[in-house]
Amino acid sequence: MLTTLSYSPNTADLFDAIAGLAGAVFLDSGSPYGQQGRFDIISACPYITLTTQGLTTIIETENGILNSDEDPFLLVKNYLKQATFTPVPAPENLPFIGGAIGFFAYDLARRLEKLPTLAQQDLPLSDMVIGIYDWAIIIDHHAKKSRLIQQNNSRKTGAICADVLKKLQQSVVTTHHQPVKLLADFQANFTPQTYAAAFNRIQTYLRQGDCYQVNLAQRFQAPVAGSPWQIYKLLRQHNPAPYAAFLNHPDASVLSLSPERFLQVHDNHVETKPIKGTQPRDPDPVSY
């Protein structure tokens, strides 16, 4: 079922009403602060949630909770196969009619290959959190249209969509608007000296052929007052990105402001557009 909604150039105003719902997600093109993206996708209350930590995946459905030690990628694939997503009639141009939205953490790679355990896991973050959604609001900023797509894989979907529409019509905001305030200065986990030493060590690895690319990242952290959604709204104003996202999950909220699309798959064609690592190598490897 497809329902036409009133269009707003700032989807964050719509998401305000549902940001506090379980599993609320906002795939954000950055409008109106940025003009590179086209579509925004918002949803909440997935009818299936898969959460992986280590060797166990917790599967939450309408019928209860299951634990599985199967390959988490295969679990997501199999649950998607069981879903029924009816395509919308032409000429509607919707990038999403239902499916999986979530995140894979770095440690999920341990399900694909054996890696040494060297780093301390000091953040209580799941290795994978995937929600399978059968409804979404799609905002097309080029066509200036907003539509709600409802698939009804879940017995509760109709009631959820009716509640969401009511919240949007009444402009009901479910999030707590505590003012955002930084409570202390940001602290890095590198000093300038240790960062320089790590950089020099990487240069040695590169020259010796032990690696070809290294992402030398450092963490900046600080205590802050305010809800994650309010923080995200401030960030998107100052740094709009065409592939940004906000995900509200029980163990963590994900605030992503990515300017690059890693992969796109369409009609059996895979396209990648990473920003880093795209500079051609110097034809003379010695001078490089």
Return the active site residues. Answer: 260, 276
1 Cβ neighbours under 8 A, 6+ residues apart: 149, 150, 152
Helix (H/G/I), strand (E/B), else coil: 181: strand
3-state secondary structure of 272: strand
Using alpha carbons, select from 133, 129, 134, 135 the residue that is nearest to residue 50: 129
Q: Which residue has the tokens 């202390």?
A: 184
Length of the chain: 288
Angle at 50 between CA 48 and CA 53, to 5 degrees: 160
Show the tokens assigned to 27. Answer: 């795939």
- E strand or H helix at 235: helix 228-238
CB 268 within 8 A of CB 40: no
**Contact predicate 12/233, CB 8 Å:** yes
Rounded-to-integer distance, Cα 163 and Cα 147, Å? 16
